[in-house]
Structure 1
Amino acid sequence: MKTITLQPENPPPLTMIGCGILRKEVERLIEKNHWNLHTHFLDSALHNYFNRLSAELNQALEEREKLGEKTVVLYGSCHPLMEHYLEQHHTCRTRGQNCVVMLLGYERFMRELEKGAYFLLEDWALTWQPMITACFGNNVGVVREIFHSGHKYMLALRTPCNGDFTEAAESAARFVDLPLQWLDVDLDHLEHVVGEAIAQRLALHD
């Protein structure tokens, strides 16, 4: 995929506010493309807590707006009121249902999802047990029942920005009693999604 050139040539700086799950990948793309983009990343587990996601996302947007900055949002449909928040703040977001769709593309995401995949990214793997028990409780049997009801295997996604999180991924898969598979993913699709969102935001009239 070709490197995306944004117009105009010297756009005003934007601040991208979004999920920290793709922090490393987005920072790599900013450096590669020389995008005039600041970042503000939120906790990658916020999608499990609608109230916290709403409060922290809106607070971050408001803080940047008070500084006179333009914002663009790196989130999927992670909150039922996401589009309402974007409208309130006169901004837009990256295209895609969730961060995995942004990374893999919709068709590849759906192929694995239909086979029963639960997608695992590095940041989630490294914080897996405390994140899952905080959300679902400490009863391992109940946690496994929840995961088994909708998933047949755990698919760990490995990007060029990841360290070796093999041990953490294996531990996460054991915790929910699902077999583990791996998929190496490049940043081409994410690069297109982020570049598209930046261009869309620059074209909006505040």
Structure 2
Amino acid sequence: MDNNALGPGHATVVSCGIFRPEIEHLARQGRFPWPVRFLESMLHMTPSLLEAEITRLIGSLDDGPVVLLFGDCHARMSEHGSLPGVRRVRGVNCCEILLGPERYHRMLRDGVFFLLPEWTSRWEDVFIRRLGFADSRLAAQFMGEMHTRITYLDTGVTAVPLVELERIGHFLGLPVTVEAVDAAALVRVVEESTGDGGADC
């Protein structure tokens, strides 16, 4: 299959589960017309398993082109995106995919640590059980060496979890801000990959 032959409306999107709430919301509104296969977002914690699952899923989708809605989430991700009939959306990670490169890099230079809704609800699993920061003081010391604040990216799909964000900020020793982002950015990046400009954002 020619890698340039991703026709409008015919691709299957393989997406990180971190975008599931936003994509399902957009799909209910008729704004995300592509079929989607989600992979568990916690696979990012074990890149080799993520690579294996993406490889398996691409291999199972033999009825049309594939768009990968992922950033540089494991070391061989660019190889996935160069396979025949497969494209990957622009963006080094999920935050840049939503924010766009200019806004993302500006915030990154300011020392922002980003949180998305799906991982915010699972922050204890990420930081305490998987990264091993059972001691808040160690977590705060580690985060403070690289970051100036935590910014929650509010996609407008779920209510901002203010109480949980306060807990996270206290545990990680950083102030928390909320930044509005447009969930329809997910539509636009897939359109760019497929050449389909027909979805109404």
1:94 aligns with 2:79: no
Is 1:119 paired with 2:114?
yes
Q: Is the 8 A contact 1:136 1:143 kept in 2?
A: no
Q: Where does structure 2 lack aligned partners over 5 or more consecutive residues?
A: 1-5, 197-201
For 1:156, give the aligned amino acid: Y
Instruction: Give the AA of the match of 1:64.
Output: L
Aligned-pair distance for 1:199?
2.1
Aligned residues: 190
Which amino acid counterpart does residue 106 of structure 1 have in structure 2? Answer: P
1:22 is matched with which residue?
19
Q: Residues 180 and 35 from structure 1, CA distance in 2 versus in 1: closer, same or farther, beyond 3 angstroms?
A: closer
The Cα of 1:75 is off from its aligned counterpart by 0.4
2:71, 2:94 within 8 Å by CA — same for their partners in 1?
yes
Partner of 2:47: 50
Q: Which residue of 1 aligns with 2:199?
A: none
Structure 2 vs 1, CA of residues 64 and 134 (structure 1 numbering), >3 Å: closer, same or farther?
Answer: farther
Equivalent in the alignment of 1:182: 178
Q: 3-state DSSP class of the match of 2:189?
A: helix
Q: State the identity as a percent.
A: 29
What stretches of structure 1 of length at least 5 have no aligned partner? Answer: 1-6, 201-206
For the pair 1:61 / 2:58, whether they are aligned, the reply is yes
* Per-residue CA distance 1:160-187 (angstroms, 9 max, x = gap): 2123422222222222111111111223
- CA gap 1:149/1:135 in 2 versus in 1, 3 angstroms: farther
Which has the larger displacement, 86-95 or 146-155?
A: 86-95
TM-score (norm 1): 0.81
SS at match of 2:35: strand
CA shift for structure 1 position 134 = 3.2
Structure 1 partner of 2:147: 151
- CA 1:113 to 1:138, structure 2 compared with 1: closer, same or farther past 3 Å? closer
RMSD (CA atoms): 2.3
Aligned ranges 1:161-176 → 2 under 5 Å: 161-176=157-172
Give 1:194's aligned amino acid. V
Matches within 5 A, 1:95-110: 95-110=90-105
Corresponding position of 1:199: 195
Deviation of 1:121 (Å): 0.9
Residue 142 of structure 1 corresponds to 138
The one-letter code of the counterpart of 1:126 is S
Sort the Cα spacing of 1:28 and 1:197 in 2 relative to 1 into closer, same or farther, 3 A: farther
8 Å CA contact retained: 2:31, 2:187: no
Q: Distance in 1 between matches of 2:32 and 2:126?
A: 33
**SS state at 2:71 partner:** coil
Instruction: Tell me if structure 2 keeps the 8 A contact 1:76–1:97.
Output: yes
Distance 1:127 1:13, change over 3 A: same
- TM-score w.r.t. structure 2 length? 0.83
